Amino acid sequence: MKFVEVCIFYLTYLLIHDILLLTLPKEGIMDNKIPDGLLELYESMLSAQLRAVRQLKTPKPRKPKGETSGGMSNIDMALDILRQARKPLHVSEVLTQVKTKYKVNLDRESLVSALVKKVHRNQGLTRTAPNTFEATHR
């Protein structure tokens, strides 16, 4: 018998609902071997299928995108702190208060950049000193 015929003979499979069934004749199993590469291929395919089934059985809870501490954006949290303070605050103090009140760590450079943009666009903020901002009351 040719190598391919031996493989087909010993490794007949039925693919029903993604389950591979191996059927081997009882006689002569030791005489002819199924190539290791083919067995490793089926092993990896079945392993991947098993992982997929396990993930479907126990899905991880996902947090909806864009929700941070009750739906407030980072800049909204900082603006809320500045409005409540009613006085100029250094960005370090804003970060500390945001962490205390909202339990969120903000990136200092990103916050400063966003606050400076608000100042330049005249959107309710003034800069009273370097990295110090105050909410203007409208």
Q: Where are the domains of the chain?
A: 3-57, 74-135
pLDDT mean over 72-91: 90
Select from 55, 56, 47 the least CA-distant residue to 18.
47
CATH architecture designation of domain 74-135: Orthogonal Bundle (1.10)
Kindly state the average pLDDT of the residues 33-51: 84
Sheet holding 125-129, edge to edge: 89-90, 132-135, 125-129
pLDDT of residue 5: 55
> Given pLDDT bands bounded at 50, 70 and 90, which one contains residue 92?
very high
Residue 135 CB coordination number (10 Å): 21
Model pLDDT, residue 95: 93
Biggest CA-to-CA distance, the chain: 91
What per-residue confidence (pLDDT) applies to 91? 93
Distance CA 23, CA 98 (A): 65
pLDDT at 138: 54
pLDDT value for 98: 92
